[in-house]
Copies of this chain bind each other. A is one copy, B any other.
């Protein structure tokens, strides 16, 4: 349906049938219109942007690279109008991508206030609160009463929904309190803001990590978090929708790391260049070769044992694989629990104790199963070797999987790098040695 819609729209735009265009996009939500636009040619996109009133709103929902393409292709004068209507955080992100020539043009033609906003916001490092905060917040003085506040808000021309939390500041923009629009509406008209506003403020520091800001928003269920400098001056706000985007991006990063793919903000497997995908994956694949080499060295060391009991090779993948699988489970449980804040690093010893119990149960079950297989395929002695090895391998796998995220954290590395492939490689090498050592002791 979307494809058909897009084709009709493309045609109507090419033929300049503005009434058809209007009827096709009538009542479509900006977010959906942005989706639709991505099926259009650049020429049609430009023509559409010219025709719609909510162009700035639609732009926000487009991926940054599409915004950039459109901005570079449109008439500079028109771009100034469009970019002026965008919210300050999105405006700054787009501005930073423009060619130097266009940046100069836009700077010259937007209002002084907006130019200053861009300069301020562009200054903050990536991944900091400053880089995602918006300047579209509403401030009032503590001395106003509720009726005056409503009158003031009524005069403001913003079309953003950021006026539900109103920040109360002094003349130097120092943050004093916060009041919600609900409280302004529901308190008696002559009541003063300073008597109602909440002063137990939760704020974010402008240099704070985005992830920590997003966690605060989600922890307190806030609509927006005020961002301040060291002296408590209000610089901007981060809204819940931006926080949701941050959470989604961070989660994808952790997800990819869990299978040893290097993170790449905003990378799409549908459109990313083949060589980028290659680069994101080859690093860990090659690193992991060394882990496997250790397994090979372990095997080579016990070559005589293997040659004498070739049946051992039959069970090698099973035993070694089980250790890796159990270890991956432990590592993922741990990495995710750390990411959601369910556990902290100080819980490690306690968790290691619990994990040992779980591992004993898992190892016991697996040992029992494999010992039966061993008895049928080999003999009683093989069965004992398999059961003992399985128990040892699963136990070690779990403890390695549980410990690796903590060790990485201690080494100031990201615990999420304790990926399933990494854990598997380490557990494989350990498993080979445990298995063949036990076999060499009991079978010769």
Interface residue ranges, A against B (CB under 8 Å):
27-29, 31, 150, 153-154, 156, 158, 161, 163-164, 180-182, 185-186, 199-200, 202, 218-221, 223, 240-241, 243-244, 247-248, 251-252, 254-256, 258-261, 268-270, 274-275, 277-278, 281-282, 284-286, 288-289, 291-293, 295-297, 299-300, 303, 306-307, 310, 313-318, 320-322, 324-326, 328-329, 331-337, 340, 342-343, 347, 350-351, 354, 357-358, 361-362, 365-366, 369-370, 373, 420-421, 424-425, 428-429, 432
User: Which residues of B lie under 8 Å from residue A254 when comparing CB positions?
Assistant: 255
Q: Apart from A31-B219, A289-B366, what 7 extra A-B contacts exist at CB < 8 Å?
A: A29-B202, A154-B185, A161-B182, A164-B164, A247-B248, A248-B340, A420-B421
CB-contact partner of A314 in B200, B289, B299, B329, under 8 A: B299
User: Which residues of B lie under 8 Å from residue A365 when comparing CB positions?
Assistant: 282, 285-286
CB-contact partner of A289 in B220, B258, B318, B421, under 8 A: B318
Complex Cα gap A241–B164 (Å): 15
- Of all chain B residues, the one with the shortest Cβ separation from A239 is B221
Among A277, A299, A329, A362: residue with most chain B CB under 10 A: A329
User: Which residues of B lie under 8 Å from residue A316 when comparing CB positions?
Assistant: 296, 299, 316
Distance in angstroms from A306 CB to nearest chain B CB is 6
- Of all chain B residues, the one with the shortest Cβ separation from A342 is B268
User: Which residues of B lie under 8 Å from residue A320 when comparing CB positions?
Assistant: 317
Complex Cα gap A260–B424 (Å): 13
Interchain Cβ contacts under 8 Å between A and B, 11 examples: A27-B199, A31-B221, A161-B223, A269-B334, A270-B337, A282-B361, A286-B369, A288-B322, A289-B318, A317-B428, A420-B421
By secondary structure, the A interface counts as helix
- Of all chain B residues, the one with the shortest Cβ separation from A181 is B181
B296 touches A200 (CB 8 A): no
Complex Cα gap A202–B268 (Å): 27
- Of all chain B residues, the one with the shortest Cβ separation from A331 is B259
B277 touches A324 (CB 8 A): no
CB-contact partner of A332 in B258, B278, B289, B362, under 8 A: B258
B218 touches A248 (CB 8 A): yes
CB-contact partner of A425 in B156, B244, B321, under 8 A: B321
A357 touches B274 (CB 8 A): yes
A289 touches B369 (CB 8 A): yes
In order of increasing CB-CB distance, the 8 nearest A-B pairs are A259-B332, A295-B317, A420-B420, A292-B318, A27-B200, A221-B241, A325-B421, A292-B321
User: Which residues of B lie under 8 Å from residue A293 when comparing CB positions?
Assistant: 318, 373
Complex Cα gap A27–B325 (Å): 48
User: Which residues of B lie under 8 Å from residue A282 when comparing CB positions?
Assistant: 361-362, 365
Q: With A247-B247, A300-B314, A342-B268 known to touch, is A325 a contact of B285 (CB < 8 Å)?
A: yes
B321 touches A295 (CB 8 A): yes
B314 touches A281 (CB 8 A): no
A328 touches B268 (CB 8 A): no
User: Which residues of B lie under 8 Å from residue A291 when comparing CB positions?
Assistant: 321
- Of all chain B residues, the one with the shortest Cβ separation from A164 is B164
User: Which residues of B lie under 8 Å from residue A181 when comparing CB positions?
Assistant: 164, 181-182, 185
A421 touches B269 (CB 8 A): no
CB-contact partner of A180 in B161, B270, B300, under 8 A: B161
A292 touches B317 (CB 8 A): yes
- Of all chain B residues, the one with the shortest Cβ separation from A284 is B325
Distance in angstroms from A258 CB to nearest chain B CB is 6
Distance in angstroms from A81 CB to nearest chain B CB is 22
User: Which residues of B lie under 8 Å from residue A307 when comparing CB positions?
Assistant: 307, 310
B299 touches A313 (CB 8 A): yes
Complex Cα gap A252–B342 (Å): 11
User: Which residues of B lie under 8 Å from residue A161 when comparing CB positions?
Assistant: 164, 180, 182, 223
- Of all chain B residues, the one with the shortest Cβ separation from A287 is B325
User: Which residues of B lie under 8 Å from residue A332 when comparing CB positions?
Assistant: 255-256, 258-259, 261
Complex Cα gap A306–B309 (Å): 12
Distance in angstroms from A326 CB to nearest chain B CB is 6
